Structure 1
Amino acid sequence: MSPPLPSAVAALLDQQEGDRVLLVDDVPDNLSLLHDALDEHGYTVLAATSGEAALARAAQGQPDIVLLDAMMPGMDGFEVARRLKANPATAHIPIVFMTGLTETEHLVAALQAGGVDYVTKPLDPRAVLARMQVHLQGARQARQTRQALDAFGYASIAVRASSGRLLWQTPLARELLQLYFGTVAPQTPAPVLAWLRRCLAEMDDGTPPQEPQRLSAELGARRLSFRLHHCIGGDDTPGPNGSSAAASGDWLIVMREVSDAAVIRSLGLAFSLTAREAEVLYWVVKGKINRDIGDILGASPATVKKHLERIHAKLGVETRTAAASMALTRVREMHPQWEV
């Protein structure tokens, strides 16, 4: 798989802090019982007695897990869960329902609303703690990963391969996905999801594992690359078409943006071109025709043609192919890592 994150990031991932639990129940006795048990075991407990308060506490406190009463007056637990999962800031938080309803349709409703598990009332604190631990390990790892990536400026996202849902993203990733694709969480851009599933299919075909091919998206002279880093846990249900656990897991994707502004400046200096001539030559090297270059630069094809004629004269060549070849050779001398 991909090379590890830098050691400074890895060190931050190893840091531990008390897990935060949001406890939601409209019955004070239930809150008191569980609060004492959770506090005794070292958890930081946030409490709410209504659906509205639960949504506010979750957004502000960012708990690692939510223990949610299913039946409450006003906004019930099912609606709370749906709203938590619809909010990109809280969609990643696992929800364990607490319910006295044991009919199959109610349990199914809890899972469909976004719950990962349930415990039945009357509550046994030992059973609640045991069920929590099943889901906290993945939540803890995801939280620490987000903290590390945010701290070190990585643009990263986590995507659930089976559903295509974008589970969480760093602030920089949010900006880049909106800029390049016009999407917001929990929607994963279609090209990114298709690329992820291709990578997982290749990993599952029985051939020796190798570095998955990276995805690139371009925006003018800027390029955003996507690297599949590793599986961070997730869904136990089969993936699309009965595929393996890898194809249904949650995957960390690291993004990196590169601007070719330096390459364009280098072309201008190397061949004594104006800024606009350097841009035109850059896009010629990228294989664009005059009409496409005009669309990119906001100019007419005729204007691009005039720029290209001056470029040919300055480079001492007669064709765009010769100009592109000369420019590519010079760029690779100055920027060995640059890719067309």
Structure 2
Amino acid sequence: MASIHVESASELLEAQAHVWNYSFNYINCMSVKCAIQLGIPEIIHKHGQPMTLSQIVSALGVNPNKAHGIHRLMRVLVHTGFFSQPKVSKIDHQEDKYFLTPSSRLLLKDAPFTAAPFVFFELDPLMINSFQSLSAWFKNDDSTAFETTNGKKPWDCVANEPKFKKTFYDAMVSDSQLVARALIEDHKELFKGLKSLVDVGGGTGTIAETIAKAFPEIHCSVFDLPHVVDNLQGTLNLAFHGGDMFKAIPSADVVLLKWILHNWGDEESLKILKRCREAIPSKEMGGKVIIIELVMGMEDQSEGSIETQLCFDMVMMCTCNTGKERSVEEWKKLFLEAGFTHYKISPILGLRSLIELYP
């Protein structure tokens, strides 16, 4: 008869601490959202130098009875790396000062590559409340937990709810601005010798416009649903075309897919990749597909990166029906089934990878 393991009191307390830690994790992200809404990064940035707690409280204009809470909020944000607080000598009786970090500078609302819109999108009630219905969704017939919670699909909310639509597009544009900068500054070789590029699902054209300005010799196109691009104006080397990527994609030397395939299951993604292959010339003629997506299970990833990717996959499950993040093997299977002969995965875009796919 197998023996039954009985945890010691110390083991139970350690397990309790683990449970508590994850039960309270939502407070970290809500604290970041609160800091953005209060404008704390802006206040320190505009001050031009680190600020003391009393200076921050004064600039915020918070209710005097609640000023003590700013210290507690900042303590969490320092611990999570959004602000730094180098200790000063107590001999001088000076207050500790709060410094911006790279993460808090990325939360500045007017920064060129602000991540604040992404925070607001992922923490929008329509998004986070979906996880309240996750257990119910596993037992019902709804396509997503988002639909179980909100009674409609995410894209219906984007189309019909102006506030959510703005939150979504602001997040996508801000991310595309940062990715475009990384491509132009650090990976210019991707565009060497190209004559044409089409950004499939490129929305309002943030990435394509950046590429078109940096490389005037490349004719860039944005291909998206007609209602997305109908009223958008192009330039000499930037055009907008409406259509259905499942039916046909405009011809170009390079097809760019940024954050498109993770919205779809394998069957739909296979159709998109086959249309991409039809749209480009041979490898010898410079044809390829550039994909920007998460690739799970890459070597040398930090624990934090792995956890974020796993959470991102859960977001896709809750919002996009068949959408998912994929491993190297899952990507390889898709590429080969779509008729491509060679691919290269480079984990060089933060949590995401740059994938070059050749016919």
Q: Identify whether the pair has TM-score above 0.5, normalized to the shorter chain.
A: no
When Rg is computed on C-alpha atoms for both structures, the one with the higher figure is: 1
TM-score when scaled to structure 1?
0.30
